[in-house]
Structure 1
Amino acid sequence: MTKHDRYQTDILGEDYQQARLNFPDDYEGQVTATLVRKKANTPTQKAVLYIHGFIDYFFQTEMAEQFNQHGFDFYALDLRKYGRSHLPHQQFYNVRELTEYDAEITEALAMIAQEGHDAVLLSGHSTGGLITTLYAAHHPNHALIKALWVNSPFYDFNMHPIKKKLALPSLSRIAKLCPNLKLPSELNKWYVPSLHQSLKGEWDFNLGWKPKSYPWVRLSFIRAIFEAQKEIHHGVSLSIPILVMHSDRSTHPKKWHLDAQSSDIVLDVKHIAHYAQKIQGDVTLCDIKKGLHDLVLSEKSVREQVYRQLFAWLQQKGV
């Protein structure tokens, strides 16, 4: 099969194509991931590879269009067991080590190179921000990756310090024996309702892939995140410039409040900033006033600021 034969029209329409990536079976059986692309109107050797967050998938078409308009071919991965890549025998979002995702990131980058690109901006939102930061740290001087942009990266759990210090190490140990044991997720119930156009937001996405609520989380996911965050907390080193973006504030609405549409209600932005500053290398921090957890889903004037800051930074870094 040639590189061109691998693509077919994506669910987002004719301007988007998707390619199925196949990998060796894991503890649940068959494994696939999905690479989605949207080419710029004029040929370019620059590309972006975007990795979504937890309980998520790629649907942010405005972001893809922004990159196209600025001379980038856009690519996004739906990781294994997420969105387009979920198979009937799989538990959604089930992972035991974040490095399981290295296979699809590496394959996607190889395909991007085969398609004529020599410079890639690696990008990730939330859990995707944690994944991409560690991927960049583990692959220094990668021939293709020239910069990293992370959008509200999941560098620390948003929970009480005592609970974090005492409970997380114990839960991580238990997860080795009981990976599928479930605990309350503690995700703010207003996050997805603040986004979806059928609820209180402006965006259209598949509520089967990014559900309105997700009350339980597997211990395996908690362990995977906890172990990965240890590296961030100790201070990883990057050989490429990184732009770390987050909202200017976090809130915790218990009932519906407009804070849900003007702040991060998932992570603590102070944690993001604190651990971003532990990264060794060329690090730029940028807080976005009234930004949501996924900054590119914020209200129009806010996300316009996100793109202005992002593309100005890329220009400054020569990417």
Structure 2
Amino acid sequence: MPPAAEDGWAPDVLGPGYEVRTLPLADDDEGEVVASLVRYRPPRDEALRPARALLYVHGWSDYFFQTELAEHWDARGVAFYALDLRKYGRSLRDHQTPGYVDDLVVYDEELAAALDAIRADLGAHVRIMPMGHSTGGLVVSLWADRHPGQISGIVLTSPWLELQGSGLLRHVSSPAIAQIARFQPKVALPNVDPGFYSRTVSAASGGEWTFDERWRPTPSFPVRAGWLAAVMTGHALVARGLHVDVPILMAASTHSLISPRWSEAMRTSDVVLDVELLARRAVQLGPTVTVVRVRGGVHDLTLSAPDVRARFYAELDRWSTAYAWT
């Protein structure tokens, strides 16, 4: 990667218009830690700085590569940024355990650094809206509950708001996971990823998308006990009810298909999470929640078939005009 300019931004792997900035973070038990902030900045009059910005936060075993999403927001006059969290994607270092944290609160550090960088770019009064996918949706929701008054709204796409199965399953399994996490926090739990989700989206297997498989591997990064315990703590907080003080859009597919056997119907379903659970939990995030169900959507709605993406983006435009930027 070419060296960064004086302001810290350098050309990104996504090509023209995309730049990345490394955000130094406090060291942890594995050593140096960083996050990576990507921005989409096509040629434009630099004197015209957008007054609105979106900050995208990816999910588990993932990173930002959804260029169509960036270009969608840019076309509407919204500056687009994306955060590769510590130990993911552009931020992953050789000495680190991929994706590992033992407390979701640690992400406050890179979220604060990202917001500071956006405000340095666009001015102190820019209106910022996070968009969190899957585990990123859980992270953003918990962060917003702890930090009122900083953002204009939240978009959640298939946010992981509850353990697969039910809250009862979480209550039953939490003590066992917590016990393992206490003594062996980085032990890898059995991998249950059959690779079907990747099969639905990868250009190599009938999907549309290409991505760096070092950063988005199949099967996914190993799930470790300490990380899962942290996620389950987040689920428990959501179940008790959050008090997010801005409008929230929760968008997910109309259908889940979770099976140990492949089916072509998986190309039009969420094969990762139970979307009915997501819809029920979403209304516990705050007083103003809109739930949108997108027929034919996959787990990441922005990676669905073209006609499905078009419906999702239309809903996104309608909601953001009515709620987030008013």
TM-score (norm 2): 0.93
Q: CA deviation at 1:160?
A: 6.6
Distance 1:221 1:318, change over 3 A: closer
Distance 1:318 1:23, change over 3 A: closer
- Which stretch shifts more, 238-247 or 275-284? 275-284
Matched residue of 2:213: which SS? coil
Q: Tell me what 2:31 maps to.
A: 29
Equivalent residue in structure 1 for 2:241, among 210, 213, 235: 235
- Which stretch shifts more, 281-290 or 54-63? 281-290
Q: Tell me what 1:204 maps to.
A: 210
Q: Is the 8 A contact 1:197 1:203 kept in 2?
A: yes
What pairs with 1:271-286 in structure 2 (closer than 5 Å)? 271-286=277-292
Counterpart-to-counterpart distance in 1, 2:289 and 2:324: 15
Q: CA deviation at 1:88?
A: 0.8
Q: CA deviation at 1:14?
A: 2.0
Q: Tell me what 2:115 maps to.
A: 109
Counterpart-to-counterpart distance in 2, 1:98 and 1:29: 18
Distance 1:3 1:134, change over 3 A: farther
What pairs with 1:71-150 in structure 2 (closer than 5 Å)? 71-117=77-123, 118-142=126-150, 145-150=151-156
Q: Is the 8 A contact 1:21 1:32 kept in 2?
A: yes
CA displacement 1:12-57 (0-9 Å, x = unmatched):
0121000001111101110011000002646311110000000000
Q: CA deviation at 1:254?
A: 2.4
Counterpart-to-counterpart distance in 2, 1:49 and 1:156: 23
- Which amino acid in structure 2 is aligned with residue 177 of structure 1? F
Q: Is the 8 A contact 2:61 2:221 kept in 1?
A: no
Counterpart-to-counterpart distance in 1, 2:162 and 2:323: 27
Counterpart-to-counterpart distance in 1, 2:69 and 2:212: 17
Counterpart-to-counterpart distance in 1, 2:226 and 2:75: 40
Distance 1:103 1:266, change over 3 A: same
What pairs with 1:1-319 in structure 2 (closer than 5 Å)? 5-39=7-41, 41=44, 43=48, 44-117=50-123, 118-142=126-150, 145-159=151-165, 163-214=169-220, 216-317=222-323, 319=325
Matched residue of 1:313: which SS? helix
Richer in strand (by share) = 1
CA RMSD of aligned residues (A): 1.7
Q: Is the 8 A contact 2:252 2:299 kept in 1?
A: yes
5+ long unaligned stretches in structure 1: none
Identity fraction in percent: 35
Counterpart-to-counterpart distance in 2, 1:116 and 1:163: 45
Counterpart-to-counterpart distance in 2, 1:318 and 1:130: 19
Q: Is the 8 A contact 1:244 1:285 kept in 2?
A: yes
Matched residue of 2:99: which SS? coil
TM-score (norm 1): 0.95
Structure 1: 4+ residue segments shifted above 6 A: none
- Which stretch shifts more, 214-223 or 274-283? 214-223
- Which amino acid in structure 2 is aligned with residue 131 of structure 1? V
